[in-house]
Structure 1
């Protein structure tokens, strides 16, 4: 019986494309480090560690998609973006991916740049680009925060999955059973279902944290409406 690894396995994408995305991922993570240093404080640093540990745990839930070493799983980009911000959030997810590849063999080491690009960078960025406008449009209560978390998580998972489709188009080396349109349809269909699960987990986690310690939710601290006070929680987000 074949054992499917998380993420993209070695050999799915050719060497030149994998190398190009490794350089891209390294450059983007360097930017994240430089920008993330501005956000780190006594609250964010320990929260980043907790977020990374939580994402590592939920990514262990693995759903085989194709027969050649590609699988789907929860990603955590939206959760990280909401709790610790896009820059530190991308770093948290990237650290998880590196540990999984080097220590546990989840995802090919040669494909690490591709996986970091899709899951840590594209996933987190797509989530935050939705979080910012949604938190300004929706009411500051548990319902509004939950909707923001759910929608951003769902969309980020699908967008990250499409990142793999683009990479496969650039340098796919393995027959994944059909044309590019069919591959895209398979990835989107499966990741819509995964995104619903991730959205529910993200919404539940973020709302729970916000009810207890709203000051630990990066999105509530930084994405507040103009001319309003910082959100507070007394039995709920307001």
Structure 2
């Protein structure tokens, strides 16, 4: 049975660096997952990603939120659902929890409005497992410092990122069966071990291990 797994976290939490290890763990079980990301995952989604992350982009909060869901709609209908229907596992770097966190928590968009778009676009589709890589804001910012030019969201003030983190943790508290919080301020090896342990539990529940 195919599963849909998402990785979430504030900018600088380090979630993306763990995708290869998660993929290799699944490959060891004979599962070849599809790796994808949001915003993005499709040609149109990648164009919208470039626009959304560009520091030169200026958009109202509603426009930003709608663009996120436009990219997600294309992603869900042309990539995620077809892959799951074919029995393929999907690993996505971010999904709708990110919109509740960044646009809801960070920007202040009413979560009820986001939920309407979520229902419209996803029609009940939810991840089987979400790994939330959580780190204090100062730790996350230190990791991003000087590594490259920061994107439109990464350049936001510390208070913005704290609201995003708080929103993520609230999502996790509201749905502990789906969202597993991984302490991302631990040594890399321990963070990876915790993420792989959560994946192993999912595999066991699905009878894959």
Tell me if both proteins adopt one fold, taking TM over 0.5 as the criterion: no
- Structure with greater strand share of residues: 2
Using the size of structure 2 for normalisation, the TM-score is 0.32
The structure with more radius of gyration: 1
- Structure with greater helix share of residues: 1
Q: Which has the higher contact order (CA 8 A, sep 6+)?
A: 2
Using the size of structure 1 for normalisation, the TM-score is 0.29
